[in-house]
């Protein structure tokens, strides 16, 4: 049974400014959940989001507040004896809060895996791949800087798939930026992420130009609220259209898949509401003939490891993943960093998440953000 739950805000600067249509990030606030059990096990989960409330309805501070105020008292009172029972309890009594629920489920699955001496991937369906290729996002906002950064990544064998964040500039300026990079990187796959910034008419114009310029994938060009427009764009263009923000929980994903509103789903464990929900979304997309892309909320290594376990179970992953979040941070919170090499990430094979969190470092950074934070008790 659960003995304690600590929710920690861990702010870490990024290695450079990360520009999106909705915000510019110079820091990522990791939301980490640390659960300890009566029989001496501990598990870690992560509920990191992007850009405070500029991206989604949950922010780091709201996640921590809701876990501390609602999740923790409920779990400590009811004392569920398994991950499944804990999540059923939370889903029965707490609406929404998908990011917070994901962090709790991840920590509990980490404990369950350690207790059974199995990786999380084997608890949620079984892995079919041990390594995943990882895209890098070019988001400085400067064309020459982005091209130089991409060439450096290729030379160092770190990344050869690149995503470009656009939507905050006039369409023709953004398109010119993208096509200059595509021309400089003709052998690389280029994805464009509009982050919902275009109207349907703007998307028709922009996607036509990008398709003619041999861009490979267009991500969420219109608002998540306009699923009909997304479907029309998918039907109109040959270039693959990817749904991102609109892909939320399994119920929502089922309707998107049934209506074939996109060619590709970007799946994110936090956005899905947990690891098992993300697995279910992947299965539904596969059955509907929709391709899959392993998305990120720019999580640190804990959320990234959890995501990798999920994506390792997908029957197909033809558009690869974007699990570069830890590489964007100036500090690492693991004893041994995740294994990035040869353009990809090797998925941990140890029990649970298969990682060892540096608890002293995590609590040190958390205390700097919240000076009154208590020390963790010994398992």
**pLDDT at res. 50:** 82
Q: Which residue has the higher pLDDT, 27 or 184?
A: 184
Distances in Å between the Cα of 341 and the Cα atoms of 16, 153, 375 are: 21, 11, 35
- The 10s digit of each residue's pLDDT in 256-308 is 999 999 999 999 999 999 999 999 999 999 999 999 999 999 999 999 999 99
DSSP string, 111-128: HHHHHHT-BHHHHTT--S
Do 142 and 201 belong together in one domain? Answer: yes
Do 196 and 259 belong together in one domain? Answer: yes
Do 164 and 289 belong together in one domain? Answer: yes
- Report how many domains make up the chain: 2
**pLDDT at res. 367:** 84
- The 10s digit of each residue's pLDDT in 243-267 is 999 999 999 999 999 999 999 999 9
CA atoms of 347 and 307, how far apart (whole Å):
10
Do 59 and 190 belong together in one domain? Answer: no
Do 233 and 261 belong together in one domain? Answer: yes
165 has catalytic annotation: yes
- CA 195, chain centre distance (Å): 14
- Could you tell me if residue 374 is inside a domain? no
Do 218 and 315 belong together in one domain? Answer: yes
Q: How many CA atoms lie within 13 A of 128 on its CB side?
A: 8
**pLDDT at res. 27:** 86
**Ramachandran angles phi, psi of 235, nearest 5°:** -75, -30
Do 108 and 223 belong together in one domain? Answer: no
Range of the domain at 68: 2-117+356-369
Do 106 and 207 belong together in one domain? Answer: no
Element (H, E) at 91: helix 83-93
**pLDDT at res. 9:** 95
pTM over 0.75: yes
Provide the Cα torsion 136, 139, 144, 148; round to 10°: -30
pLDDT bucket at 372, cuts 50 / 70 / 90: low
CATH number at residue 152: 3.20.20.120
Overall residue count recorded for the chain in this entry = 379
pLDDT bucket at 178, cuts 50 / 70 / 90: very high
**Mean pLDDT on 175-203:** 96
CA atoms of 30 and 198, how far apart (whole Å):
29
Indicate whether 351 pLDDT > 60: yes
**What percentage of the chain reaches a pLDDT higher than 70?**
94
**Mean pLDDT on 119-128:** 97
Do 304 and 236 belong together in one domain? Answer: yes
pLDDT bucket at 309, cuts 50 / 70 / 90: very high
- Could you tell me if residue 376 is inside a domain? no
CATH number at residue 65: 3.30.390.10
- The 10s digit of each residue's pLDDT in 54-109 is 667 889 999 999 999 999 999 999 999 999 999 999 999 999 999 999 999 999 99
**Mean pLDDT on 127-140:** 94
pLDDT bucket at 378, cuts 50 / 70 / 90: low
**Mean pLDDT on 106-115:** 98
**pLDDT at res. 284:** 96
Do 159 and 298 belong together in one domain? Answer: yes
Tokens of 90: 């939370």
Q: How many helices (H) and strands (E) does the chain have?
A: 14, 13
CA atoms of 100 and 278, how far apart (whole Å):
14
**pLDDT at res. 246:** 95
Q: What is the residue-averaged pLDDT of the chain?
A: 93
Do 284 and 169 belong together in one domain? Answer: yes
pLDDT bucket at 140, cuts 50 / 70 / 90: confident
**pLDDT at res. 57:** 81
- The 10s digit of each residue's pLDDT in 14-43 is 887 766 655 676 889 999 999 999 999 999
Do 104 and 191 belong together in one domain? Answer: no
- Could you tell me if residue 378 is inside a domain? no
322 has catalytic annotation: yes
Residue among 158, 153, 163 nearest 133 (CA): 158
Active-site entry in 19, 64, 165, 182: 165
């Amino acid at each position: 049974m659960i003995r304690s739950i600590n929710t920690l805000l861990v702010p870490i600067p990024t290695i450079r400014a990360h520009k999106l249509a909705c915000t510019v990030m110079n820091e990522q606030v990791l939301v980490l959940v640390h659960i300890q059990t009566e029989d001496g096990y501990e598990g870690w989960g992560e509920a990191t989001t992007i850009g405070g409330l500029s991206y989604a309805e949950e922010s780091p501070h709201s996640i921590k507040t809701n876990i501390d105020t609602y999740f923790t008292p409920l779990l400590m009172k009811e004392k569920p004896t398994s991950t499944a029972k804990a999540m059923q309890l939370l889903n029965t009594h707490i609406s929404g809060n998908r990011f917070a629920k994901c962090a709790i489920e991840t920590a509990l699955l980490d404990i369950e895996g350690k207790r059974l001496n199995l990786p999380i991937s084997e608890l949620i369906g079984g892995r079919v791949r041990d390594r995943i290729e990882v895209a890098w996002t070019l988001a400085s906002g400067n064309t020459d800087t982005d091209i130089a950064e991409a060439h450096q990544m290729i030379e160092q064998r770190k990344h050869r798939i690149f995503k470009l964040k656009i939507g905050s500039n006039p369409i023709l300026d953004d398109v010119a930026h993208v096509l200059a990079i595509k021309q400089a990187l003709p052998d690389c796959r280029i994805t464009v992420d509009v982050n919902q910034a275009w109207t349907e008419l703007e998307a028709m114009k922009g996607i036509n130009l990008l398709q003619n310029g041999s861009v490979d994938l267009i991500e969420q060009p219109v608002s998540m609220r306009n699923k009909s427009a997304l479907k029309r764009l998918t039907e109109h263009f040959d270039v693959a259209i990817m749904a991102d923000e609109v892909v939320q929980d399994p119920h929502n994903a089922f309707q998107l898949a049934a209506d074939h509103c996109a060619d590709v789903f970007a799946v994110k464990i936090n956005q899905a509401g947990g690891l098992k929900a993300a697995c279910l979304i992947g299965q539904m997309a596969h059955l509907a003939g929709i391709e899959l892309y392993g998305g990120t909320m720019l999580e640190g290594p804990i959320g990234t490891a959890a995501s990798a376990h999920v994506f390792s179970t997908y029957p197909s992953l033809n558009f690869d993943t974007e699990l570069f979040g830890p590489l964007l941070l100036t500090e690492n919170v693991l004893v041994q960093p995740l294994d990035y090499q040869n353009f990809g990430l090797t998925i941990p094979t140890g029990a649970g998440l298969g990682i060892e969190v540096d608890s002293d470092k995590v609590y040190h950074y958390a205390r700097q953000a919240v000076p009154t934070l208590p020390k963790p008790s010994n398992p």
